[in-house]
């Protein structure tokens, strides 16, 4: 009898350092919160946004483009959004030019997955 072991290479996101993501989020913190119960700022509090439709966090006034986008926040959609928001949702009012480096986006996404639960 032979024992077969299959190893899977971890995804880039799994390897991303959430501490780097937390440092990157300092730029975002001007407009966004992540802790439960904190008020919205210029942008919505992101607590609990993961896996939810874009533009539907209670108590925040979103652009029609975001609210009607049909986007659900996950690793893939957030990666596109963080690279260049208007590529994903034309007409968004978010004032953010994007993160061009994939490693930075992966780190920020890893941080957001953890920090917004």
Asked whether 65 and 90 are in contact (CB, 8 A), the reply is yes
Instruction: Summarize the confidence of residues 46-61 as an average pLDDT.
Output: 96
Q: What does the DSSP 8-state code read for residue 74? A: S
> Is residue 96 included in any domain, yes or no?
yes
The answer to the question of residue 9 being in a domain is no
Residue 1 inside a domain? The answer is no
Domain carrying residue 102: 14-115
Mean pLDDT for the stretch of residues 52-69: 95
In this structure, what DSSP letter does residue 97 have? -
**What is residue 17's predicted lDDT score, i.e. its pLDDT?**
72
pTM for the model stands at 0.84
At 106, which CATH number? 1.10.760.10
Residue 83 lies in a domain: yes
Q: How many domains does the chain have?
A: 1
**Torsion angle of C-alpha atoms 71, 77, 83, 88, degrees rounded to 10:** -30
Contact 54, 44 (CB under 8 A): no
**Mean pLDDT on 91-106:** 94
Token pair for 112: 């957001």
Q: What is the mean pLDDT of residues 72-91?
A: 96
């Amino acid at each position: 009898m032979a024992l077969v072991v299959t190893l899977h290479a971890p995804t880039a996101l799994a390897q991303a350092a959430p501490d780097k993501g937390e440092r990157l989020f300092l730029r975002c913190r001007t407009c966004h919160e992540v802790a439960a119960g904190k008020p919205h700022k210029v942008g919505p509090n992101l607590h609990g946004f993961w896996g939810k439709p874009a533009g539907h966090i209670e108590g925040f006034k979103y652009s029609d483009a975001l609210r009607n986008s049909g986007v659900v926040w996950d690793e893939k959609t957030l990666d596109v959004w963080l690279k260049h928001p208007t590529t994903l949702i034309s007409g968004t009012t978010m004032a953010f030019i994007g993160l061009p480096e994939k490693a930075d986006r992966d780190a920020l996404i890893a941080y957001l997955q953890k920090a917004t639960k």
